[in-house]
């Protein structure tokens, strides 16, 4: 890791002058909480890649396999806690009305970190890919919180809708599915108006999320990237901090 203190200072200067900021996070911000990223070496499960399981086709084909994967991820997340990067971002959100957080993560760690320091402003915490801890009925569309363990040993033991008996699915956005227009619309509105976009822990591969940073750039804003590796966004970043979220986010955001 080589995060040059001068780069951190340059990032802090950009943020000190910013009236509005959007933060875009990906799986990398949760890595130091113990949650495997998608495209890292731990991203495989039983030799399946996320892109093969996180699809409506996979769920239609084998809802038990998909629910087994999601239940394992939920149990893993419930054993983990927000890290210092989640915590600093949560504190910053409570201190600055002009900051919006758009996360690709479905682990709920940003919400947990924010709840630890204050009242969550739902309009400024945009879980653009949904959350592991809500379900949606595949028949009637009802959504509800859900964190009980799921028994995927038979089709009958999978969770079913209390209202209509339909099979429940995780309320996350799968590949090939549209994002909630109100949520992603709010994120792009924030990105367009942002003076700075801070991108933390994403490989910037998945769309439309990765385009949030380019929209800030295209509308005259600046980009700060935090990632141990370079990404497709690196060439258009004003500041690239080659370090981990826990090493860089507190240094970047402290006392701003």
State the catalytic residues: 129
**Smallest distance from Zn ion to CB 165, Å:** 7
Give the closest residue to 200 by CA, choosing from 35, 18, 22, 28. Answer: 28
Cβ pair 212, 24 in contact under 8 A: yes
Write the CB contacts of 24 (distance below 8 Å, at least 6 apart in sequence). 102, 103, 104, 197, 198, 199, 200, 202, 209, 212, 213
Q: Judged by CB, which is closer to Zn ion: 115, or 164?
A: 164
By the rule CB under 6 A, 48 interacts with ligand BV8: no
Q: Is 139 in the site for Zn ion (CB under 5 A)?
A: yes
Comparison of 134 and 242: residue with beta carbon closer to Zn ion: 134
The dihedral region occupied by 29, where left means phi > 0, alpha psi between -120 and 50, and beta the remainder, is alpha
Please answer whether residues 78 and 147 qualify as being in contact, where contact means their C-beta atoms are separated by less than 8 angstroms: yes
Minimum separation from the CB atom of position 164 to Zn ion (A):
4
Q: Is the dihedral of CA 38, 71, 183, 173 positive or negative?
A: positive
- Each residue 76-105 as x (binds ligand BV8 by CB under 6 A) or -, in order, gives ----------------------------xx
Q: For ligand BV8, how many residues bind (rule: CB under 6 A)? A: 36
**DSSP class of residue 52?**
H
CB of 66 to Zn ion, least distance (A): 18
Determine if 129 is a binding residue for ligand BV8 (CB under 6 A): yes
For position 229 contacting ligand BV8 by CB under 6 A, the verdict is: yes
Angle (nearest 5°) at CA 233 between 231 and 237: 120
- For residues 189 and 51, what is the distance between their CA atoms, to the nearest angstrom? 28
- Listed in sequence order, the residues at least 6 apart from 133 whose beta carbon sits closer than 8 Å to its beta carbon are 74, 108, 145, 146, 147
Contact 233, 211 (CB under 8 A): no
Contacting ligand BV8 within 130-189 (CB under 6 A): 172-178
List the one residue from 50, 66, 106, 161 that touches Zn ion (CB under 5 A). Answer: 161
> Does 144 engage in binding with Zn ion (CB under 5 A)?
no
Pick what 164 binds: Zn ion, ligand BV8, none; C-beta below 5 to 8 Å, kind-dependent.
Zn ion
Q: Whose CA is closest to 77, among 102, 123, 117, 109?
A: 109
What character string, x for contact with ligand BV8 (CB under 6 A) and - otherwise, covers 197-226? ----xxx-xxx------------------x
Binding interface with ligand BV8 (CB under 6 A): 26-28, 31-32, 37-40, 43, 51, 54, 104-106, 129, 172-178, 201-203, 205-207, 226-229, 231, 244-245
Binding interface with Zn ion (CB under 5 A): 137, 139-140, 142, 161, 163-164, 166
């Amino acid at each position: 890791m080589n995060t040059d203190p001068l780069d951190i200072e340059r990032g802090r200067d950009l943020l000190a002058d910013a009236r509005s900021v959007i933060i875009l996070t990906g799986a990398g911000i949760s890595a130091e909480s113990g949650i495997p990223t998608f495209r890292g070496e731990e991203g495989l499960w039983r030799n399946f890649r996320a892109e093969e399981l996180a699809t409506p086709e996979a769920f239609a084909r084998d809802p038990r396999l998909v629910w087994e994967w999601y239940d394992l991820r939920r149990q893993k997340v419930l054993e983990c806690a927000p890290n210092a990067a989640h915590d600093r971002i949560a504190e910053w959100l409570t201190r600055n009305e002009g900051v919006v957080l758009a996360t690709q993560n479905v682990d709920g760690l940003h919400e947990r970190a924010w709840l630890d320091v204050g009242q969550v402003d739902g309009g400024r915490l945009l879980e653009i890919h949904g959350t592991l801890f809500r379900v949606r009925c595949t028949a009637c569309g009802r959504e509800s919180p859900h964190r009980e363990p799921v028994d995927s040993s038979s089709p009958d033991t999978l969770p079913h809708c209390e209202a209509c008996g339909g099979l429940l699915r995780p309320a996350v956005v799968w590949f090939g599915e549209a994002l909630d227009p109100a949520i992603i619309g709010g994120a792009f509105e924030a990105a367009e108006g942002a003076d700075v976009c801070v991108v933390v822990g994403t490989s910037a591969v998945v769309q439309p999320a990765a385009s949030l940073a380019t929209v800030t750039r295209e509308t005259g804003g600046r980009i700060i990237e935090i990632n141990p590796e370079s990404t497709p966004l690196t060439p258009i970043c004003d500041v690239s901090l080659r370090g981990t979220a826990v090493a860089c986010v507190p240094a970047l955001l402290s006392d701003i």
